[in-house]
Protein backbone atom coordinates (compact mmCIF):
# COMPACT_ATOMS: atom_id res chain seq x y z
CA UNK A 1 0.00 0.00 0.00
CA UNK A 2 1.39 3.36 -0.99
CA UNK A 3 1.34 6.34 1.34
CA UNK A 4 -1.82 7.79 -0.18
CA UNK A 5 -3.88 4.66 -0.89
CA UNK A 6 -7.27 4.58 0.86
CA UNK A 7 -8.22 1.43 2.75
CA UNK A 8 -11.37 0.04 4.33
CA UNK A 9 -11.35 -1.34 7.89
CA UNK A 10 -11.55 -5.12 8.35
CA UNK A 11 -15.04 -6.49 8.87
CA UNK A 12 -14.04 -8.77 11.76
CA UNK A 13 -11.71 -6.98 14.24
CA UNK A 14 -11.23 -8.77 17.54
CA UNK A 15 -12.78 -7.20 20.61
CA UNK A 16 -10.54 -6.24 23.48
CA UNK A 17 -10.49 -8.54 26.49
CA UNK A 18 -8.10 -8.28 29.46
CA UNK A 19 -7.03 -11.88 28.84
CA UNK A 20 -5.05 -10.78 25.75
CA UNK A 21 -2.27 -9.63 28.13
CA UNK A 22 -0.18 -12.20 29.99
CA UNK A 23 2.29 -10.50 32.36
CA UNK A 24 5.21 -12.60 33.53
CA UNK A 25 5.46 -13.55 37.21
CA UNK A 26 8.57 -11.40 37.79
CA UNK A 27 7.52 -8.52 35.54
CA UNK A 28 7.48 -5.95 38.36
CA UNK A 29 11.16 -6.69 39.06
CA UNK A 30 11.99 -6.34 35.36
CA UNK A 31 10.12 -3.03 35.21
CA UNK A 32 11.97 -1.69 38.25
CA UNK A 33 15.33 -2.72 36.77
CA UNK A 34 14.47 -1.09 33.45
CA UNK A 35 13.48 2.16 35.17
CA UNK A 36 16.75 2.13 37.13
CA UNK A 37 18.71 1.55 33.93
CA UNK A 38 16.98 4.43 32.17
CA UNK A 39 17.69 6.62 35.17
CA UNK A 40 21.39 5.66 35.04
CA UNK A 41 21.54 7.00 31.47
CA UNK A 42 20.11 10.35 32.57
CA UNK A 43 22.48 10.50 35.52
CA UNK A 44 25.46 9.92 33.20
CA UNK A 45 24.47 12.65 30.76
CA UNK A 46 23.64 15.06 33.61
CA UNK A 47 27.04 14.48 35.19
CA UNK A 48 28.75 15.28 31.90
CA UNK A 49 26.56 18.15 30.70
CA UNK A 50 24.86 19.60 33.75
CA UNK A 51 21.41 19.42 32.17
CA UNK A 52 18.68 16.86 32.68
CA UNK A 53 17.92 14.93 29.49
CA UNK A 54 15.52 12.20 28.51
CA UNK A 55 16.89 8.69 29.02
CA UNK A 56 15.98 7.92 25.41
CA UNK A 57 15.18 10.25 22.51
CA UNK A 58 17.17 13.03 24.18
CA UNK A 59 17.90 15.05 21.04
CA UNK A 60 15.06 16.87 19.34
CA UNK A 61 15.20 17.81 15.67
CA UNK A 62 11.90 19.67 15.50
CA UNK A 63 9.13 20.89 17.82
CA UNK A 64 5.94 21.66 15.95
CA UNK A 65 2.51 22.94 16.85
CA UNK A 66 -0.48 22.01 14.75
CA UNK A 67 -3.97 20.60 14.73
CA UNK A 68 -5.43 17.09 14.64
CA UNK A 69 -8.77 16.71 12.87
CA UNK A 70 -10.76 13.53 13.47
CA UNK A 71 -12.46 12.54 10.23
CA UNK A 72 -16.21 12.79 9.96
CA UNK A 73 -18.32 9.75 9.17
CA UNK A 74 -16.01 7.04 10.50
CA UNK A 75 -17.67 3.59 10.73
CA UNK A 76 -18.40 2.31 14.26
CA UNK A 77 -15.29 0.09 14.44
CA UNK A 78 -13.13 3.18 13.87
CA UNK A 79 -15.19 5.74 15.80
CA UNK A 80 -13.60 4.80 19.13
CA UNK A 81 -12.00 6.73 21.99
CA UNK A 82 -10.38 9.97 20.81
CA UNK A 83 -11.80 9.25 17.35
CA UNK A 84 -15.41 8.67 18.45
CA UNK A 85 -16.63 11.89 16.85
CA UNK A 86 -15.42 14.46 14.36
CA UNK A 87 -13.54 17.19 16.19
CA UNK A 88 -10.35 19.25 16.16
CA UNK A 89 -7.62 19.33 18.80
CA UNK A 90 -4.34 21.25 19.17
CA UNK A 91 -1.22 19.08 19.01
CA UNK A 92 2.50 19.30 19.74
CA UNK A 93 4.85 17.08 17.69
CA UNK A 94 8.45 16.28 18.69
CA UNK A 95 10.90 14.78 16.18
CA UNK A 96 13.90 13.01 17.72
CA UNK A 97 16.46 10.22 17.49
CA UNK A 98 16.73 7.36 19.97
CA UNK A 99 19.94 7.76 22.07
CA UNK A 100 19.90 9.24 25.56
CA UNK A 101 22.98 11.35 24.86
CA UNK A 102 23.30 14.25 22.42
CA UNK A 103 25.28 12.91 19.46
CA UNK A 104 26.20 14.27 16.02
CA UNK A 105 23.56 13.33 13.48
CA UNK A 106 26.11 11.29 11.53
CA UNK A 107 25.64 8.69 14.31
CA UNK A 108 22.54 7.52 12.50
CA UNK A 109 19.92 5.85 14.69
CA UNK A 110 16.14 5.29 14.41
CA UNK A 111 14.00 8.41 14.35
CA UNK A 112 11.08 9.12 16.67
CA UNK A 113 7.89 11.14 16.52
CA UNK A 114 5.98 11.91 19.71
CA UNK A 115 2.55 13.52 19.46
CA UNK A 116 0.60 15.17 22.25
CA UNK A 117 -3.08 15.81 21.53
CA UNK A 118 -4.55 18.38 23.93
CA UNK A 119 -8.00 19.14 25.27
CA UNK A 120 -9.23 15.54 25.00
CA UNK A 121 -12.25 14.67 27.19
CA UNK A 122 -13.00 11.21 28.55
CA UNK A 123 -12.19 8.58 31.17
CA UNK A 124 -8.47 8.60 31.95
CA UNK A 125 -5.74 6.01 32.33
CA UNK A 126 -4.45 5.36 35.86
CA UNK A 127 -1.97 8.07 36.82
CA UNK A 128 -3.30 10.59 34.30
CA UNK A 129 -6.47 11.55 36.12
CA UNK A 130 -7.27 15.23 35.77
CA UNK A 131 -5.31 15.55 32.54
CA UNK A 132 -6.72 16.15 29.06
CA UNK A 133 -3.92 14.90 26.78
CA UNK A 134 -3.49 11.83 24.60
CA UNK A 135 0.07 10.92 23.63
CA UNK A 136 1.30 8.72 20.79
CA UNK A 137 4.95 7.60 20.86
CA UNK A 138 6.16 6.45 17.43
CA UNK A 139 9.34 5.28 15.64
CA UNK A 140 10.17 5.02 11.92
CA UNK A 141 9.88 1.24 11.71
CA UNK A 142 6.92 -1.15 12.03
CA UNK A 143 8.37 -3.39 14.76
CA UNK A 144 10.13 -2.93 18.09
CA UNK A 145 13.76 -4.07 18.22
CA UNK A 146 13.03 -6.78 20.84
CA UNK A 147 9.95 -8.86 21.67
CA UNK A 148 9.34 -8.31 25.37
CA UNK A 149 10.23 -6.54 28.61
CA UNK A 150 13.17 -8.73 29.59
CA UNK A 151 14.74 -8.30 26.17
CA UNK A 152 14.04 -4.57 26.39
CA UNK A 153 15.96 -4.46 29.68
CA UNK A 154 18.91 -6.29 28.12
CA UNK A 155 19.14 -3.94 25.15
CA UNK A 156 18.80 -0.89 27.37
CA UNK A 157 21.63 -2.07 29.61
CA UNK A 158 23.83 -2.25 26.51
CA UNK A 159 22.79 1.28 25.55
CA UNK A 160 23.49 2.51 29.08
CA UNK A 161 27.00 1.03 28.96
CA UNK A 162 27.82 3.01 25.81
CA UNK A 163 26.12 6.29 26.74
CA UNK A 164 28.31 9.35 26.20
CA UNK A 165 31.40 7.34 25.33
CA UNK A 166 33.65 7.98 22.32
CA UNK A 167 31.31 9.94 20.02
CA UNK A 168 34.00 10.00 17.31
CA UNK A 169 34.23 6.22 17.37
CA UNK A 170 30.43 6.01 17.25
CA UNK A 171 30.45 8.01 14.00
CA UNK A 172 32.90 5.56 12.42
CA UNK A 173 30.93 2.53 13.61
CA UNK A 174 27.68 4.08 12.42
CA UNK A 175 29.08 4.57 8.92
CA UNK A 176 30.04 0.89 8.79
CA UNK A 177 26.64 -0.22 10.03
CA UNK A 178 24.88 1.92 7.42
CA UNK A 179 26.92 0.16 4.79
CA UNK A 180 25.88 -3.24 6.14
CA UNK A 181 22.23 -2.17 6.27
CA UNK A 182 22.44 -0.94 2.66
CA UNK A 183 23.58 -4.42 1.59
CA UNK A 184 20.69 -6.03 3.46
CA UNK A 185 18.19 -3.63 1.89
CA UNK A 186 19.65 -4.19 -1.57
CA UNK A 187 18.44 -7.79 -1.26
CA UNK A 188 14.95 -6.71 -0.23
CA UNK A 189 15.31 -6.93 3.56
CA UNK A 190 16.13 -4.78 6.53
CA UNK A 191 17.71 -5.33 9.95
CA UNK A 192 16.15 -3.72 13.01
CA UNK A 193 19.30 -4.60 14.96
CA UNK A 194 21.66 -2.87 12.52
CA UNK A 195 19.48 0.24 12.46
CA UNK A 196 19.21 0.40 16.23
CA UNK A 197 22.99 0.14 16.63
CA UNK A 198 23.63 3.07 14.28
CA UNK A 199 22.91 1.78 10.79
CA UNK A 200 19.81 3.84 10.10
CA UNK A 201 20.03 5.05 6.47
CA UNK A 202 20.82 8.76 6.12
CA UNK A 203 17.45 9.95 4.88
CA UNK A 204 15.39 13.07 5.45
CA UNK A 205 13.46 12.67 8.70
CA UNK A 206 10.38 14.41 7.29
CA UNK A 207 9.87 11.74 4.65
CA UNK A 208 9.54 8.98 7.24
CA UNK A 209 6.46 7.00 8.15
CA UNK A 210 6.19 6.45 11.91
CA UNK A 211 4.67 3.53 13.84
CA UNK A 212 3.63 2.82 17.42
CA UNK A 213 5.28 -0.63 16.94
CA UNK A 214 3.32 -1.94 19.93
CA UNK A 215 -0.46 -2.04 20.39
CA UNK A 216 -2.97 0.01 22.31
CA UNK A 217 -6.57 -0.54 23.17
CA UNK A 218 -8.75 1.07 20.53
CA UNK A 219 -12.01 1.43 22.42
CA UNK A 220 -13.75 -1.92 22.03
CA UNK A 221 -10.89 -3.22 19.88
CA UNK A 222 -7.06 -3.31 19.70
CA UNK A 223 -4.79 -1.53 17.23
CA UNK A 224 -1.41 -0.25 16.23
CA UNK A 225 -0.99 3.35 15.07
CA UNK A 226 0.92 4.90 12.18
CA UNK A 227 1.49 8.50 11.08
CA UNK A 228 2.14 8.99 7.38
CA UNK A 229 3.19 12.16 5.50
CA UNK A 230 0.69 12.97 2.74
CA UNK A 231 1.17 16.60 1.70
CA UNK A 232 3.04 16.98 -1.59
CA UNK A 233 6.18 18.57 -0.16
CA UNK A 234 6.53 15.91 2.57
CA UNK A 235 5.83 12.99 0.23
CA UNK A 236 8.62 14.28 -2.03
CA UNK A 237 11.05 13.65 0.87
CA UNK A 238 10.15 9.96 1.23
CA UNK A 239 13.43 8.05 0.94
CA UNK A 240 15.29 11.26 0.07
CA UNK A 241 18.98 11.09 1.06
CA UNK A 242 20.26 13.68 3.51
CA UNK A 243 24.00 13.99 4.01
CA UNK A 244 24.67 15.23 7.55
CA UNK A 245 28.41 14.52 7.64
CA UNK A 246 30.12 17.62 8.99
CA UNK A 247 26.74 18.88 10.21
CA UNK A 248 26.25 17.77 13.83
CA UNK A 249 22.69 19.12 13.78
CA UNK A 250 21.95 18.45 10.12
CA UNK A 251 18.56 16.84 10.73
CA UNK A 252 17.40 19.82 12.77
CA UNK A 253 18.69 22.25 10.16
CA UNK A 254 16.74 20.40 7.47
CA UNK A 255 13.54 20.45 9.53
CA UNK A 256 13.90 24.17 10.32
CA UNK A 257 14.57 24.95 6.65
CA UNK A 258 11.53 22.98 5.51
CA UNK A 259 9.02 24.52 7.91
CA UNK A 260 10.42 27.96 7.27
CA UNK A 261 9.00 27.55 3.76
CA UNK A 262 6.21 24.96 3.95
CA UNK A 263 3.47 23.56 6.11
CA UNK A 264 2.79 19.84 6.30
CA UNK A 265 0.00 17.28 6.49
CA UNK A 266 0.07 13.74 7.87
CA UNK A 267 -2.60 11.07 8.19
CA UNK A 268 -3.01 9.19 11.45
CA UNK A 269 -3.92 5.59 10.64
CA UNK A 270 -4.85 2.58 12.75
CA UNK A 271 -4.41 -1.14 12.12
CA UNK A 272 -7.07 -3.19 13.93
CA UNK A 273 -6.15 -6.60 15.34
CA UNK A 274 -7.98 -9.47 13.63
CA UNK A 275 -5.88 -12.53 14.56
CA UNK A 276 -4.00 -12.93 17.86
CA UNK A 277 -1.62 -15.54 16.42
CA UNK A 278 -0.54 -13.47 13.43
CA UNK A 279 -0.91 -10.20 15.33
CA UNK A 280 0.30 -10.91 18.89
CA UNK A 281 -0.13 -8.48 21.76
CA UNK A 282 2.86 -9.60 23.86
CA UNK A 283 5.51 -10.01 21.12
CA UNK A 284 6.51 -6.54 19.94
CA UNK A 285 9.01 -7.87 17.39
CA UNK A 286 6.28 -9.31 15.15
CA UNK A 287 4.99 -7.11 12.34
CA UNK A 288 1.24 -7.28 11.99
CA UNK A 289 0.51 -8.28 8.37
CA UNK A 290 -1.28 -5.58 6.41
CA UNK A 291 -2.91 -8.16 4.14
CA UNK A 292 -4.88 -9.31 7.19
CA UNK A 293 -5.67 -5.81 8.38
CA UNK A 294 -4.60 -2.64 6.54
CA UNK A 295 -3.84 0.69 8.18
CA UNK A 296 -6.92 2.90 7.86
CA UNK A 297 -7.01 6.70 8.15
CA UNK A 298 -8.96 8.10 11.12
CA UNK A 299 -7.51 11.61 11.47
CA UNK A 300 -5.40 14.24 9.76
CA UNK A 301 -2.64 16.35 11.33
CA UNK A 302 -1.74 19.72 9.80
CA UNK A 303 0.93 22.25 10.72
CA UNK A 304 1.52 25.67 9.24
CA UNK A 305 4.95 27.10 8.37
CA UNK A 306 6.72 27.98 11.61
CA UNK A 307 10.03 28.18 13.43
CA UNK A 308 10.48 24.43 13.95
CA UNK A 309 13.26 24.65 16.54
CA UNK A 310 14.91 27.32 18.66
CA UNK A 311 16.60 27.34 22.08
CA UNK A 312 13.48 28.97 23.54
CA UNK A 313 11.20 26.42 21.91
CA UNK A 314 13.45 23.61 23.14
CA UNK A 315 13.20 24.94 26.69
CA UNK A 316 9.42 24.71 26.52
CA UNK A 317 9.08 21.53 24.47
CA UNK A 318 12.09 19.46 25.54
CA UNK A 319 12.42 20.48 29.19
CA UNK A 320 8.81 21.09 30.22
CA UNK A 321 6.96 18.40 28.28
CA UNK A 322 7.07 14.65 28.64
CA UNK A 323 5.57 12.13 26.24
CA UNK A 324 4.28 8.74 27.33
CA UNK A 325 1.67 6.31 25.99
CA UNK A 326 0.33 6.33 29.59
CA UNK A 327 -0.79 9.95 29.18
CA UNK A 328 -4.18 9.30 27.71
CA UNK A 329 -7.67 7.87 27.68
CA UNK A 330 -8.68 4.55 29.20
CA UNK A 331 -10.05 3.78 25.72
CA UNK A 332 -6.44 3.76 24.45
CA UNK A 333 -4.79 1.78 27.23
CA UNK A 334 -1.26 0.66 26.21
CA UNK A 335 -1.05 -3.11 25.76
CA UNK A 336 1.74 -5.67 26.04
CA UNK A 337 5.00 -6.10 27.89
CA UNK A 338 6.91 -3.22 26.29
CA UNK A 339 4.10 -0.78 27.06
CA UNK A 340 3.84 -1.94 30.67
CA UNK A 341 7.62 -1.43 31.07
CA UNK A 342 7.34 2.14 29.84
CA UNK A 343 4.83 3.31 32.44
CA UNK A 344 7.08 3.69 35.51
CA UNK A 345 10.30 4.28 33.53
CA UNK A 346 9.00 7.25 31.56
CA UNK A 347 7.49 8.86 34.66
CA UNK A 348 10.80 8.47 36.55
CA UNK A 349 12.73 10.03 33.64
CA UNK A 350 10.40 13.05 33.62
CA UNK A 351 10.77 13.55 37.38
CA UNK A 352 14.55 13.42 37.11
CA UNK A 353 14.59 16.12 34.43
CA UNK A 354 12.21 18.31 36.40
CA UNK A 355 14.29 18.07 39.57
CA UNK A 356 17.64 18.72 37.89
CA UNK A 357 16.48 21.52 35.61
CA UNK A 358 14.21 23.26 38.10
CA UNK A 359 11.30 23.12 35.64
CA UNK A 360 7.73 21.96 36.05
CA UNK A 361 7.15 18.98 33.74
CA UNK A 362 3.41 18.68 33.35
CA UNK A 363 0.54 18.12 30.97
CA UNK A 364 -0.85 21.16 29.11
CA UNK A 365 -4.59 21.68 28.79
CA UNK A 366 -4.38 22.85 25.20
CA UNK A 367 -5.90 26.26 25.79
CA UNK A 368 -2.97 27.89 27.55
CA UNK A 369 0.05 26.01 26.18
CA UNK A 370 2.22 27.65 23.55
CA UNK A 371 5.61 26.91 22.04
CA UNK A 372 7.64 30.12 21.64
CA UNK A 373 9.27 30.90 18.32
Residues 279, 285, 289, 290, Cα dihedral to 10°: 110
User: What are the pLDDT digits (tens) for 93-152?
Assistant: 999 999 888 989 988 899 999 999 999 999 999 999 999 999 999 999 999 999 999 999
* 18-357 to CATH, choices 3.30.230.10, 2.40.180.10, 3.60.15.10, 3.40.50.300: 2.40.180.10
Q: How far apart are CA 115 and CA 133, in angstroms?
A: 10
User: What are the pLDDT digits (tens) for 293-318?
Assistant: 999 999 999 999 999 999 999 999 99
Q: How far apart are CA 121 and CA 329, in angstroms?
A: 8
180: pLDDT strictly greater than 60: no
Confidence of residue 185 (pLDDT cuts 50, 70, 90): very low
Write out 302-328 in H/E/C secondary structure: EECCCCCCCHHHHHHHHHCCCCCCCCC
- Looking at residues 34-56, what average pLDDT do you find? 93
- Looking at residues 188-193, what average pLDDT do you find? 46
Global pTM exceeds 0.85: yes
Please state the domain extents for the chain: 18-357
Break the chain down into helix, strand, coil percent, rounded to 5. 30, 20, 50
pLDDT at 200: 81
User: What are the pLDDT digits (tens) for 254-280?
Assistant: 999 999 999 999 999 999 999 999 999
β-pairing, 59-70 vs 296-303, is antiparallel
Q: Among residues 288, 276, 170, which one has the least CA distance to residue 224? A: 288
Higher pLDDT, 6 or 19: 19
Amino acid sequence: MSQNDPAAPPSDPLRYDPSVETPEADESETAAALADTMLSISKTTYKDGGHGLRSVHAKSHGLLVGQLEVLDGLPPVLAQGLFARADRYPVVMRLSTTPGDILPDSVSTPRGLAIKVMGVPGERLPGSEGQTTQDFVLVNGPVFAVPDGKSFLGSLKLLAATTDRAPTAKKVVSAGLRGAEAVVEAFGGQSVTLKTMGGEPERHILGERFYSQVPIRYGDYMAKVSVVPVSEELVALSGAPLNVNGKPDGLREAVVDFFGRHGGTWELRVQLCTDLEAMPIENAAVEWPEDKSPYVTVARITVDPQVAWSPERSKAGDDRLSFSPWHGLAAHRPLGSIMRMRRHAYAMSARFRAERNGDDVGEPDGGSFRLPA
